[in-house]
């Protein structure tokens, strides 16, 4: 099983590690790859992606996948479509939107706007509605099961409603600091800890990772 963590933060936002150190630590843990998805809004999105571009241009490792992305965070729902387009234009191969977690004051309507605008992953979506889960499945948007403290409190609910509507789930650490990292075995246990069966968990960890990775690889958006 090849594991990729699609939600990781660096010093480009509120993480504590450089991208180079993130890569080395994930390689030590035997991950296949990682997505760098720092927090962005309209104030810093171009800077973050320009910095990621510089690193990616000098990164060559056939055995490790490095995905440039962003996590759009606390952007007003009516502006999410616009900032996703900016992210794509500036080279983001993976777009995450910071969902309506129960532990932060995320504006109501963010989940729906992110799904409608075609984000790749809706992170920690809190008590997402069944209608939004169905729309996420139709729009090929993945919902996140997360290791992140606080955000993880609704993992069981998210797993339950996603199970009833196609299991469009992905597992991520939302890593900010070295202490947030988990080994690949622990990573694979999160679906089961969220109430899913072994078969359902294996689908998320095999089929969904492969599906999302293919979507990224087939993306028409290139780093400028």
- pLDDT more than 70, % of the chain: 98
First and final C-alpha spacing in the chain: 32
Structure confidence by residue, pLDDT tens digits, 80-122: 999 999 999 999 999 999 999 999 999 999 999 999 999 999 9
- Report the alpha-carbon distance of residue 35 to residue 53 in Å, rounded: 13
Domains of the chain with bracketed CATH:
4-217 (3.20.20.140)
Which one, of 57, 115, 53, 124, lies nearest residue 87 by Cα? 53
Whether the predicted model's global pTM rises above the 0.85 cut: yes
Structure confidence by residue, pLDDT tens digits, 170-221: 999 999 999 999 999 999 999 999 999 999 999 999 999 999 999 998 876 5
Q: At what angle do helices 155-163 and 184-193 cross, to 10 degrees?
A: 70
């Amino acid at each position: 099983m090849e594991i990729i963590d699609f939600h990781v933060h660096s010093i480009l936002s509120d993480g504590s590690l450089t991208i180079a150190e993130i890569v080395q630590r994930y390689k030590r843990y035997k991950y296949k790859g990682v997505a760098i998805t720092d927090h962005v809004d309209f104030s810093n999105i171009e800077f973050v992606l320009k910095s990621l571009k510089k690193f990616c241009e000098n990164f060559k490792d056939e055995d490790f996948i490095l995905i440039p992305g962003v996590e759009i965070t606390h952007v007003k729902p009516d502006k999410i479509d616009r900032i996703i387009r900016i992210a794509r234009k500036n080279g983001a191969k993976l777009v995450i939107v910071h969902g309506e977690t129960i532990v932060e004051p995320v504006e109501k309507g963010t989940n729906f706007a992110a799904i409608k605008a075609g984000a790749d992953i809706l992170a920690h979506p809190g008590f997402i509605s069944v209608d939004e889960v169905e729309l996420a499945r139709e729009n090929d948007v993945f919902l996140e099961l997360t290791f992140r403290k606080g955000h993880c409190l609704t993992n069981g609910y998210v797993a339950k409603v996603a199970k009833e509507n196609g299991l469009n789930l992905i597992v991520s650490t939302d890593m900010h600091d070295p202490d947030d990292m988990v080994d690949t075995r622990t990573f694979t246990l999160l679906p089961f800890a969220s109430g899913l069966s072994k078969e359902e968990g294996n689908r998320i960890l095999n089929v969904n990772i492969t599906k999302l990775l293919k979507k990224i690889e087939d993306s028409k958006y290139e780093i400028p």
